[in-house]
Structure 1
Amino acid sequence: MLTMPSSRATGVDAARSVELGAQALAIEAKALAALEARVAGPMAEAFALAIERILACRGRVVVMGMGKSGHVGRKIAATLASTGTPAMFVHPAEASHGDLGMVTRDDVLLALSNSGEVDELAVLLPALKRLGVKLIAITGRAHSTLAQHADVVLDSSVEQEACPLNLAPTASTTAQMALGDALAVALLDARGFREDDFARSHPGGALGRKLLTHVRDVMRSGDAVPRVLAATSLVEAMREISAKGIGCTAIVDELAAGRGRPLGIFTDGDLRRLIERGGDLRTLDAGAAMHPSPRTVRADALAVEAADLMETAKITSVLVVDGEGRLVGAVTSNDLLRAKVI
């Protein structure tokens, strides 16, 4: 049960604050429901035409808006750019003083204004028309100056703002933002935009690391990879494990780096189990103690595949091989953690 803080203690009518917050959300939800009905109904043709115009664009989507619409426009431009549609935001006021030179006839202009009468946008419309730029308007007034100049009009009107005074842009900016997201989603699907495309535009993000990082990018290679021959004494094999510090050593048919093929693997766990069975470590060689047919991963595989293999097999390291099965590296769970793959 929610306990409201005392208004005497805070100077705030907590119940009133909660009521207004819930009311604001209800108003914005209603606005979005009405917008959904328009996109699926009377605005369907205009929405589809907007998608066609943007897909046919040989340049970029130039997004403009003033005030709160400008803030929304920046977000829409960023969303479009990160989902496969080249886009940028140009401030209308700055465009009047030289930045209009950023816009070319190959671009599509996406202009946002709830009233459709913003002076900073209106003054640009004749120049944009002369340039031959296609104009898509997101506006709350279908007969505004902006709408009259637009090639495509997307109606973002709302019955009321969520502001108790019905003044501050709230529900109207939510509708603009939602329409921008709707355009971005429809466009990415039309372009066949997939996870790997998203990763390429988000290389610093978690998905980017998972889909772009390969085993070769994180593996240990050269002399850092523990390896011994099958005839090597078990004592020497344990020294190799200690020296390389990854808790195992590969048993190979040739010691030269990048030439030998793994015959087996011997791990710290194998050593513990051998001691528990009472084996004589002094008389065994690595070939007798190894676990044959070790799990391996290709160097050109995604690092996340190595992580999945370790999780499935409940191991903490895996040997890396090239296309011909030669040992070229080793990767551990700690390597993957450092690379933020897991």
Structure 2
Amino acid sequence: MSRADRGRGPVPDRTRTEQAGTGTARGEATGTDPTHTERATRTEEFEELRPLLFSISYRILGSVGEAEDAVQETWLRYETAAARPASAKAFLSAVVTRISIDVLRSARVRREEYVGPWFPEPLLTDPYQDPERSAELADSLSTAALLLLERLSPLERAVFVLREVFAFGFPEIAAAVGRSEPACRQLAVRARRHMDAGRPRFEADRKERERLAGRFFDAFREGDVDGLRAVLAADVSMVNDAGGKAPLFAEYVAGPEHVIDVIAALRPVFAGAGVVTEPRTVNGQPGAVVRDKDGGVLSTLTLDILDGRVRTIRTVLNPDKLAHMGPVADIWALNREANLIRGSVDRPTDRLTH
């Protein structure tokens, strides 16, 4: 299934014999061929819960594509289950959690072999909305929080996400991960301890974050060195994820002057090539989508802000991680154009390097 096809909704004509789930049966379904009415009811229930399922899976996996696949697989199991469970939410949450745990276990091996820093795939909008907990949900979606979750075992990560982010009860969590309630409580305690020890800190006032991000991007676009210096923390760092599939201006840069050097080198390239920095919320934090002159996605950028300063700048350049956002620009072509624009490749800060 292509990424363009993922997330478009259930595919009622597809069937599988695999059955999964918990809860007491109800409804009219028999065998693996639910009636038309039953299938319509299941489709409606699934679509209502799809945002929650994706949000659970994405926080466990850190991948938009894998989360979409996990949600689609969850639908296929629900569509062909012998009978509709007593609680669609409990059933579907359990299934998507189990699938995500399995995917994460295999993904761990690939991430160990990843070239350079690994970041989660950027997400512009969390489909699961809860106005009363919007700030909490956004912080759990941040790149910093997802990187911290990488330190947990797959089971710890799943339990933490279900309990701390989505407030599931331990009976539901136990059914979802296939462990006893006491074991899940222990997993939750361990996960919380690890998360608390390294929990990312952000500016408490979200409006203040947005205001400071606006100052950063204004200075970035205008090449205002003094403006940049005023918003960067003394220990600011810039970290970039290219996965070996995109040219890098640097993998890791530390200190305000070095970060400013990199940004100053990029500005004439962006201006000459018609590159646009589009401020957006990325993974619940202030950020931007960087596009070429034709609107293709070159990268995303996120800012961690604390105490009125930008502490961390993270960019994702790996085209594989940007494909779900639309057409991906040819960053190698931009690299060649950049060298022509500068007219010189003598200084490391004046060129993109692989």
Structure that is richer in helix per residue: 2
* Bigger relative CO (Cα 8 Å, ≥ 6 apart): 2
Which of the five TM-score ranges fits, normalised by the shorter chain?
under 0.3
Rg (Cα) greater in structure: 1
